[in-house]
Amino acid sequence: MQAVRLAGAVAWVALAGASAAPRLEAQVATSASACAGETARELHAAAQRSWRELDESIARYSALIRQRMAVRLRAPLRDRIIYRSETAVRSFWQREHEAVTQVLGMRSAYPGRETAVRSDEFDWLDELPFEEPFEPGGDYLFFGMMSPYPVAHPLAPGSDSLYRFGTGDTLTLSLPGGERLRAIRLDVSARQADPRRISGALWIEPESGALVRAVYRLSRTFDAMRDDPEVRREEEGGAFRFVPGLLRPWTFDLSLVAVDYSFWEHRAWLPRRMRIEAHLRAGILNFPVSMETWYEIESVTLKDEKNPAQVAADLGTEASPLEHVHFGSREEALSFVARILGEGEGVAYESTSSRLDGKRLIAPVERELVAVSPVLPPPIWQETAGFLSEDEVERIRRLLNTITVGAEVATAAITWGWGGHDLLRYNRVEGPAVGVRAEFALPRGFRARASGFLGIADLGPKARLDLVRSSLLRSVQLSAFHELRSTDSRAGHLGLGNSLNALLWGRDGGQYYRARGASLAWRPPPLARASYSFSVYAERQSAAANATSFSVLHAFDSDWDFPANLVADTADEWGAELWLAPLWGHDPGASRLDAELFVRAALWRTPDGGGDPTFYQQASARITAVLPVAGDGWRGWRMALEGAVGTTWGDAPAQRSWFLGGRRTLRGYPPSVRKGLSYLRGRIEVARTYELASLIAFGDAGWAGEGDGFEVNGLLYGAGVGGSFLDGLIRLDLSRGLTGSEGQFRVEAYLDAPL
């Protein structure tokens, strides 16, 4: 009885809402030329008929809906989670009425939230990320919603002129009654790579044409300045001329969408789960976004289903009379619903609304209860029942990678100087250097890139040509180059940070040499975290001397000069390199472990030396552990421990030495204070963490030299204090070298620290 009263109240209080409009376009036969076989054509036609028909069979349903999401800021060392949320609601949906949503649980974290919670203006419901439940009759490809992005629908009339269709494996679903339901995979491939077309696979039940499962992605990344006419006109008019290349281009990529449906009690297709992965990018700022939704359907009423009185009449019995309740206002009805729900769950509920969008909700009177609800899902980086596992997501990526995409329209983009994020630099070899880059889209997913630099001090032109083939799984790059290179290619010595240090303060942390040759490299796809690299190469290396002595701090000191650059050996070298960077742990308040492993094997000889080449091998390893000591979440005490070691077997060129000194390896000392064919170092940090910032004390120790020449007395020690913002994203250190004559007081600002 209570359930009947509740359903009646929900039906009365809901307002008429928008539903998906019928697809009234005339049926057009799918072109045979667009399909790889008759099966694909028939399957597409059945799916198209089902898509055109507005499903009105479901009158109402209720479901427990769990949703979780995270937004990350990508950095070389690790991603920072800048937003996360977990939500659990119960939705009561009824056709031609507005859904009523009961808030069961809600948990979120982002910088500044704890401060907001302590303010009088904070309302938990304003943070609720849940919008609306699944709309039966809506577009099943987009989980019952309107398309979140304007794409050409693969089932719309005329879609055969935009897509090609093929068939794949068969999916067999086992139903509770023992029956089996078959769904056939329909592969969808865009004829031309375009950000408004998708590429993926749809599993279609062949008799009804119902969509059982879909996985897809955009066939090409959306670039606002290229693909949005209004933005393009503004750029051509000079509206963005003061936007630095660091913050351009602006791109969006929908890299994975997976939707699943279940045949509820053999009566209706209703949602089961959905996962979305996307990337937003503004120049060097890369924001991976992931979201998952899981539906537990609790009850369904079909449009032609008999009511209790009709069922009783068929059985020759008398049904219990329904209780009719009349309400004087919408608010009174919602309050009634809230009271009924509270009686059933032992929690006091009230009718309320969000100030942000005016959405009517039923929520606990004690708002804090939503954060500890037992029905909340774990964070999105933890596997749990109901959601896709990492193995399943990886299989989806591999499937999407096999579905070909048509050629991209040939384009060329040219940037130089201020317009590129890495086309201006300053160092003691080149002085100020200006670069230019041209990128070309080629057939079959290839991209060509040509770049060049000219240093004002050394007047030495540098050039690089890259041919890149990227997929969802990997990126392969063939390169030819004549360039200036740092001995530590991952330290960013040719980037903005070191360039500013060299120009303003006269602190150039790099050791440079020249290289010309060719290489072939395998890396993760462009949107993924840089977790590995393997390359083979053949190149000639030679020395590069200082060519400038200018820095702003020492502009009027005629006796000052940069420290001398490394005297590199002239060498012809060919070899292979492997770099791995695994990471364990994503929760910013929990333990985290990350590591690096680097291996190089190479042959080299001097160009005019004759004789057999010299073989050498190198290996290094680093491991960093971040451990919570006290407190909870982003507030408390944490400790970071780091150790690293590297060595060389055989006789290697001078430019293959290991260098210690500076913020990355040994604070309190200038860069390259020690060098050798072997090294070891360690550091410890203790941080008092707050929501937005941390205060840190640290100590470093390190040694470098010949492998058999290590002595404890040769260790250098440094210590200091520092502060960081956004979990180490921005870091400022004050350090002092404690041993040796080279120890200094040093202030250093940098990005992407462990704490």
Do 184 and 225 lie in one domain? The reply is yes
- Domain end point (choices 362, 386, 402): 402
Q: Which long-range contacts (CB under 8 A, 24 or more apart) does 283-287 make?
A: 283/244, 283/245, 283/246, 283/247, 283/248, 283/249, 283/421, 284/246, 284/247, 284/421, 285/73, 285/247, 286/73, 286/74, 286/527, 287/71, 287/72, 287/73, 287/74, 287/82
pLDDT in tens, 45-102: 888 888 877 667 888 899 999 999 999 998 888 888 999 999 999 988 888 888 888 8
Residue-level pLDDT at 388: 92
Contact 273, 377 (CB under 8 A): no
Q: What is the mean pLDDT of residues 411-439?
A: 89
pLDDT over 70 (residue 11): no
More confident residue, 177 or 636: 636
Distance CA 387, CA 85 (A): 15
Task: Tell me the average pLDDT across 36-49.
Answer: 87
Question: Does 656 fall in a domain?
Answer: no
Last residue of some domain: 354, 381, 402?
402
Is residue 195, in this structure, part of any structural domain at all?
yes
Q: How many CB atoms lie within 10 A of CB 390?
A: 9
The answer to whether 658 and 677 are in contact (CB under 8 A) is yes
pLDDT of residue 360: 74
Task: Find the mean pLDDT for residues 406-435.
Answer: 86
For residues 449 and 318, the model is more confident at: 449
Identify the pLDDT of residue 308: 55
What was the pLDDT predicted at 414? 86
For the purposes of burial, counting CB atoms within 10 Å of the CB of 147, is it exposed (0-12), middle (13-18) or buried (19 or more)? exposed
% residues pLDDT > 70 (the chain) = 87
Query: Which residue would you say has higher pLDDT here, 251 or 137?
Result: 251
Mean predicted confidence (pLDDT) in 137-150: 68
Q: With CA atoms as reference, report the closest residue to 659 among 612, 603, 703.
A: 703
Q: Judge if 305 and 419 occupy the same domain.
A: no
Separation CA 431–CA 427 (nearest Å): 5
- pLDDT bracket for residue 681 (50, 70, 90): very high
Residues 574-594: b if buried by 16+ CB within 10 A, e if exposed = bbebebebeeeebbbbeebeb
Task: Assess whether 196 and 152 both reside in one domain.
Answer: yes
306 lies in the same domain as 414: no
Does a structural domain hold residue 122?
A: yes
pLDDT grade, residue 333 (50/70/90)? low
CA distance 515 to 535: 15
Give residue 469's pLDDT. Answer: 92
Three-state DSSP at 345 gives: helix
Residues 419 and 500 in one domain: yes
Helix/strand/coil for 412: strand
Question: What phi and psi values does residue 450 have, to the nearest 5 degrees?
Answer: -125, 130
How many CB atoms neighbour CB 651 within 10 A? Answer: 11
Rounded CA gap, 506 and 494, in Å?
Answer: 15
| Count of CA atoms in the C-beta half-sphere (13 A) of 35 | 18
Is residue 362 within 8 Å of 338, Cβ to Cβ?
A: yes
* Pick from 307, 276, 284, 88: nearest CA to 200: 276
Single residue among 369, 385, 402 that ends a domain in this structure: 402
Interval 626-675: pLDDT, tens: 999 987 766 789 999 999 999 999 999 999 999 999 999 999 999 999 99
Alpha-carbon span 551 to 500, nearest angstrom: 10
pLDDT, one tens digit per residue, over 528-538 is: 889 999 999 99
pLDDT at 712 over 70: yes
8 and 84 assigned to the same domain: yes
Residue 227 domain-assigned (yes or no): yes
Rounded Cα distance between 482 and 454, Å, is 12
Residue 654: strand, helix, or coil: helix
Predicted pLDDT of residue 633: 64
Do the domain assignments include residue 608? no
Domain housing 460? 410-568
Same-domain pairing of 273 and 316: yes
Number of domains, the chain: 2
Please provide the average confidence, as pLDDT, over all residues in the chain: 85
- Is the confidence at residue 203, as pLDDT, over 50? yes
Q: Is residue 743 part of a domain?
A: no
- The whole-number pLDDT of residue 389 equals 92
The DSSP bridge pattern shows strands 592-605 and 163-174 to be: unpaired
- Average pLDDT in the 178-192 region? 85
215 and 295 in one domain?
Answer: yes
**Contact criterion met (CB below 8 Å) for 137 and 109:** no
Question: What pTM was estimated for this model as a whole?
Answer: 0.87
* Residue 329, pLDDT above cutoff 60: no
In a domain, 84, yes or no: yes
DSSP 28-55: -PPPGGGBSSHHHHHHHHHHHHHHHS--
Could you tell me if 99 and 201 lie in one domain?
Answer: yes
Residues 393 and 414 in one domain: no
Q: Are residues 357 and 423 in the same domain?
A: no
Instruction: Return the pLDDT at 89.
Output: 92
Which pLDDT tens digit goes with each residue over 591-636?
999 999 999 999 999 988 677 899 999 999 999 999 999 877 667 8
Q: Are residues 360 and 474 in the same domain?
A: no
Give the integer Cα–Cα distance in Å for 272 and 292: 11
First to last CA, the chain: 57
Confidence of residue 181 (pLDDT cuts 50, 70, 90): confident
